[in-house]
Structure 1
Amino acid sequence: KMVKTYLEEELDKWAKIAAYGHEVGKRPWITGDESIVGLMKDIVGANEKEIALMNALTVNLHLLMLSFFKPTPKRYKILLEAKAFPSDHYAIESQLQLHGLNIEESMRMIKPREGEETLRIEDILEVIEKEGDSIAVILFSGVHFYTGQHFNIPAITKAGQAKLTKS
């Protein structure tokens, strides 16, 4: 309920003092991450001192994939929802190119069924079951930016882990 109020306050601050908002006001932007670390501990299951909030999403995706996307001749695909946030697509395409992989073959996007706007969990799980032997990374947002669909990340993760242990 307070989001609109807070957003209006920050936009007003930007209109009045621009970049100085990084250092002044009730919520200086430069320390913005410090005010939400406590909220993140329950989400990520860690202690506050173990949490680091940093960069922009696309930078973090690149750093994440540089560490975890290790394609092999057998496992080389990245699975994601169709029409994910555009910078997610760019980051994935960039990583595939970095590894010399063909984007069309290696970027596996799941689309909703004909006439539907959102993905069915059973369709996601079916793709993981059928193609899981070639999937190196499953990358879904928690909530689709355009449709607002909430993805069942625990179920998707469980299916991916099960497929990994079978092969």
Structure 2
Amino acid sequence: MTDVHTFTPRPAEARTESLVAAGLAAALVAGYLYVGQGERDVRLLAGLSALAAGVVLVGYLLRAHVQWVDEIQLSAESATLMRNDAPQTLPWTAVRSVRHYSRGGEHWILSADPGHSTMIIRADGLNREEAARLRELISALHAAAVPSAATEHGR
């Protein structure tokens, strides 16, 4: 029996991340216009800051809605994403490479061999500790599968 590590993203955590990103966008736009461009019209600053925040918020919420994962399961054999009770599973032996990005949230791209679909695992809705644990597990499980994959392909 293999250990299955399960991560369950929480919508409230993802909403908080979205609101923080929107607030940061508003502050950056207002700061840039005020300090960098010398703009002093409060209505223009407020309007453009609100527009920037709205664009970022809509982008994050749309991504969360379209790419939301109900559960992430990692085992020694495979990575599985559950979306609306429909699993997407990718065996570690079929993963060619793992790329990790921390822009716009933390996510991993598991590039797969032909015949398998590439998998994107997002840490949306996970707290920092869970995202760190997910990062460690993906790295360790993929590294552990690489020698066995090379042995299997060499037979």
Please give the range of the TM-score, normalised by the shorter of the 2 chains: under 0.3
Q: State the TM-score, normalizing by the size of structure 1.
A: 0.25
Answer 1 or 2: which has greater strand percent: 2
Q: State the TM-score, normalizing by the size of structure 2.
A: 0.26
Higher relative contact order by CA 8 Å / sep ≥ 6: 1 or 2? 2
